[in-house]
Structure 1
Amino acid sequence: MGDEAWLPEDMLEAFKALANPIRLQIMQWLRDPDHEFADYEPIADRQVVGVCVSHIQAKAGLAQSTVSSYMATLERARLVNSTRVGKWTHYRRDENRLRQLSIAIGEHL
């Protein structure tokens, strides 16, 4: 899945997901999770599984339902991957897909 080319409709979905300033901010936070979420005790290795959704919620200061919706949008756009650790969902950027998106933008825009 991560090695698939970006089709125009996939690119549009990614752009829509990133057009929201909070989702864009979350993607920036997830770029350096150890630094950005240093105030929160990790439930699991952030480099392996990502950041717990409850920590994203706390940092963003938004309702759990809003953050869950934002993360689902980013995941549908294939910009993040989710992993369950116990009862918690963790999110991590899909760096390979983001690199491919950057290449596709350079080739098509």
Structure 2
Amino acid sequence: MDREDILKALSHPMRVEILTWLKEPEAYFKTQEHPLDMGVCASQFERCGLSQSTVSAHLATLQRAGLVTTRRVGQWIFYKRNEETIQAFLKNIGETL
């Protein structure tokens, strides 16, 4: 876990929003055809009103920081929160601040 990378990733409100959506995918991605236990397909993030390239950049930042994991199925990439890293980060922040 790189705390600085995580803090940078969380500095943009859209990336925080994406993590919020991924926390309860059943509430935000009801229209996804694939089972949500696979994760949320990248195309589902169109809901934020940003271009595909901008959404991809946000998702890549979250992935580099270790806040999300990916799974490729055919041509699709599915995203899930990395709860282990998130919890370790929260614990670390709680202990240091």
Give the TM-score, by structure 1 length.
Answer: 0.84
Q: Deviations over 1:68-88 (max 9, x none)?
A: 110000000000001111101
The reply to whether residue 26 of structure 1 matches residue 18 of structure 2 is yes
Aligned to 2:85: 97
Aligned to 1:83: 71
Distance 1:31 1:37 in 2: 11
Distance 1:72 1:51 in 2: 14
Kept in 2: contact 1:42–1:51 (CA 8 A): no
* RMSD between aligned residues: 1.0
Q: Deviations over 1:14-58 (max 9, x none)?
A: 0110110111100000000011111x2332x222x21000001x2
